[in-house]
Amino acid sequence: MDYFLQQLTNGVTLGGVYALIALGYTMVYGIIQLINFAHGEFFAAGGYMGVILIGWLLTTGAPPWVCLSLGMLLAMGYCAMLAMAVEKVAYKPLRKASRLAVLLSALGMSIFLQNGLMLTQGVYDKAYPTQMTQGGFAIGNVSISYMQVIIVAVTAALLIGLNLLVFRTRIGKAMRATAQDKTMSALVGINANRVISTTFAIGAALAAAAGIMVGFYYGSVRYDMGFVPGIKAFAAAVLGGIGNITGAMIGGFVIGLVEIFAAAYISSQYKDVFAFIILIAVLYFMPTGIMGENVDDTRV
Amino acid sequence: MTREFKKILRFWGIGLVWFYFLLWPLMGLKGDQVSFADSLKVWAAVAVASGLCVVVWLLRERGVLDPLGRGLAAGRNAARAAYSGLPVWVWALVGLACSLCLPLVANRYVMDVFINVLVYVCLGLGLNIVVGLAGLLDLGYIAFYGVGAYTYALLSIHFGISFWLCLPVAAVFAAIAGCFIGYPTLRMRGDYLAIVTLGFGEIVRIVLNNWMGLTNGPNGILGVKAPSVIWPSFANGFELETIWLRSLDGLYYVILGLTVVTVISVYRLNYSRVGRAWEAIREDETAAELMGVNTFRLKLLAYAMGAVFGGLAGAFFAARFRFVSPESFTFLESAMVLSMVVLGGMGSIPGVILGALALIALPEAFREFELYRMLAFGAAMTIMMLFRPAGLIPAPRFGSRSEEAD
């Protein structure tokens, strides 16, 4: 039982990270029907920006929690800028092109960004300043590290914030309208380009937050760390019903829990396989995901 | 100063400032050191290069480059006239003759590169069936390559079966894998198919990596036999002698033969009833089904046929390096093959050959920039999609059709 609870804690932590990445995929897909392959790279870039900026802020002698939160905010801003640039250069001119063309453009951007990270940051793991978040406590026999608490708290805060943004603000309303019907939303005066740009920025900022937390959790980042979590997070988005924000959150937690429990009880080497098998099984029996999809199939 | 020009200039200016903001934290912040020199150097290079592009664009808008453009167009028309003046088989024979003579003039390095090109031509043509003809996006194609390679490697080291016998076996195994992957995925539409095939590709790689008993895991399998031919020898009386094709020239002819078989099969498939049915599915699945095309079976067949050529290329891969390991079958390879197909022009055989040539041989020409190769590859892929999404040699399309919804 203790073992189960321990794994449950780990699964929720990992699931939160996947949920944050999956949101970026699902929001982008919901609006422009693009599997944004570069999204995993935003996650990796966020991880790198976290270690660079937090490391630099720590040298200024500011208190650790200021460094942590400021560094995180700056890294999220950085990735938002990166995503907006990528969208402007690689996706916007292709709004009317075939889907495959945009997909390959995204693949090209993914390879480009990954190698850009490698060239500027080196091929080796970059260590995180984990000493500031070390330690933990135990409830019964279940040990919980402070980092897990931080991850769950930050994830929860971001998910609530995103929900408020999407369902309570004007820009959120515009995003939902654009995702539902681009022609009609354009007719009532919603600037689709701006909405799409904002969507990319928000998704990338969430991915950056996930990247930093993964960096702290595992203690290091690598230039190619975006690929595997990227596809798993996309699997999570599909699992929850693509275009569906609540679905992406649920899907992220499902994939995280499946991975951790499969690793704990079945085989740790094949844990990645189980995530994909779940994905295939769900798509086979529920082709629109758990929560149903929410996609506008018309082109901009 | 037209408005268009102002817009471009503003885009360029804002873009450069934006770019520096993105570049500086990556290059200028190292630990506690803050520097600007390195990032400014890269930034200046990018600024000059993009500035040149803006100037060229401006000149083109002003009509300064018109004579040049006319010259190019004339050249292109002349080339096209020359190409269509002779039947296709003449060009195919010329190409084949050149490829047959290549070992006479090329050194080891060039041979090596060309063997690689031909392997990728086979892979590209196989994927072309799935993506180009049937219109099913497959992001895990390299899995079949891996299945073929491991089939031959295992049969060779455990049972010592010859390469030529293993070729059909590898093809069959790959086809079975293709059906296995195809069956659950074919009910899904476009993008789900993409992610599920990607997932399958990863599953195959993970299994190859972890099934120590069968595949020896990440260490790979050593000691795979090269292809052999049996040749009569009259040195002492008459006997049949086994010659191992270990030399690059021998391997080159083997893969050239495979490529010729692949090209002819794909060409014949393309213009057969099956090929027509695939194209009908690509254009409009519902309409194809209404016309009596068994879409499910044909889609499965497309997967299996694509996998067959991947499996053949895989068996050759194992025989060539006499070593296989899971790290040869990553997603990046799938992406590479897919970009060949798209770069060359989907559904077009000369296009795929040109795409393989461009993506394998061109990077070799820039060996000294090894580090920047993949960076340039990614950028080139995006730029290609921006300016020529239909590929270098688009496949001819017959008849008129309504705008595709998907």
Both B147 and B199 in a single domain?
yes
Q: Would B113 be classed as within a structural domain?
A: yes
- A129: nearest CA in chain B? B31
Both B72 and B138 in a single domain?
no
Q: What single-letter DSSP state applies at residue A92?
A: G
CA angle B254, B344, B300 (to 5 degrees): 75
Both B152 and B72 in a single domain?
no
Q: Would B361 be classed as within a structural domain?
A: yes
Residue B190, Cβ density class (10 Å: 0-12 exposed, 13-18 middle, ≥19 buried) = middle
Note whether B137 contacts A103, CB cutoff 8 Å. yes
Residue-range definition of the domain harbouring residue B42: 3-77
pLDDT at A296 over 60: no
- A58: nearest CA in chain B? B32
Closest CB to B389: pick one of A82, A97, A116.
A97
Report, in angstroms and rounded to the nearest whole number, the Rg of chain B calculated over CA atoms.
25
Pick among B131, B138, B180, B381 to test the A interface (most A CBs inside 10 A): B381
Note whether B22 contacts A78, CB cutoff 8 Å. yes
Both B123 and B41 in a single domain?
no
Both B61 and B191 in a single domain?
no
- Assess A114–B contact: CB distance below 8 Å, yes or no: yes
Q: Would B86 be classed as within a structural domain?
A: no
Contacts of B189 (CB under 8 A, 6+ apart): B406
Q: How confident is the model over A147-192, as pLDDT tens digits?
A: 888 888 998 999 899 989 988 999 989 988 888 888 888 899 999 8
Q: Output the furthest CA–CA distance in chain A (Å, rounded).
A: 59
Both B65 and B135 in a single domain?
no
**A232-271 residues touching B, CB cutoff 8 A:** 234-235, 238, 242, 269-270
Using CA atoms, how far apart are residues B116 and B316, in angstroms rounded to an integer? 11
DSSP reduced 3-state for B343: helix
Closest CB to A280: pick one of B131, B196, B406.
B196
Q: What pLDDT does B404 receive?
A: 46
Q: What pLDDT does A210 receive?
A: 94
**B27-46 residues touching A, CB cutoff 8 A:** 27, 29, 31-32, 34
Distances (CA, A) of B123 to B42, B137, B305, B329: 37, 15, 12, 12
Q: What pLDDT does A80 receive?
A: 95
pLDDT at A249 over 50: yes
DSSP reduced 3-state for A127: strand
CB-CB neighbors (< 8 A) of B210 in chain A: 269-270
Q: Would B396 be classed as within a structural domain?
A: no
Alpha helices in B271-348 (DSSP H): 273-283, 285-290, 295-321, 331-344
Using CA atoms, how far apart are residues A217 and B115, in angstroms rounded to an integer? 45
Q: Would B401 be classed as within a structural domain?
A: no
- Assess B378–A contact: CB distance below 8 Å, yes or no: yes
Both B241 and B316 in a single domain?
yes
Both B237 and B125 in a single domain?
yes
- Assess B338–A contact: CB distance below 8 Å, yes or no: yes
Using CA atoms, how far apart are residues B393 and B88, in angstroms rounded to an integer? 14
Per the structure, how many domains does chain B have? 2
Closest CB to A273: pick one of B25, B206, B371.
B206
Closest CB to B331: pick one of A90, A120, A227.
A227
The number of CA neighbours under 13 Å toward the Cβ of B401 is 12
Would you tell me how many other CB atoms lie within 10 Å of the CB of residue A153?
11
pLDDT tens, position by position, for chain B (406 residues)? 577 778 888 888 899 999 998 888 888 887 777 888 888 888 899 889 988 988 888 888 777 777 787 888 888 888 888 777 777 788 888 888 888 888 888 788 888 888 999 999 999 999 999 988 888 888 889 999 999 999 999 998 888 888 888 899 999 999 999 998 888 877 776 677 877 888 888 888 888 888 888 888 888 888 888 887 777 777 777 777 777 777 788 888 889 999 999 999 998 998 889 999 998 888 888 888 898 888 889 999 999 999 999 999 999 999 888 888 888 888 888 888 988 888 888 888 888 998 898 888 887 777 777 778 788 888 888 888 888 887 777 777 665 555 444 4
ipTM of model = 0.85
Q: Would B99 be classed as within a structural domain?
A: no
Contacts of A104 (CB under 8 A, 6+ apart): B338, B339, B342, B381, B385
Q: Computed from CA positions of residues A279, A284, A287, A289, in that sequence, does the dihedral angle turn out positive or negative?
A: negative
DSSP reduced 3-state for A243: coil
Q: Would B229 be classed as within a structural domain?
A: yes
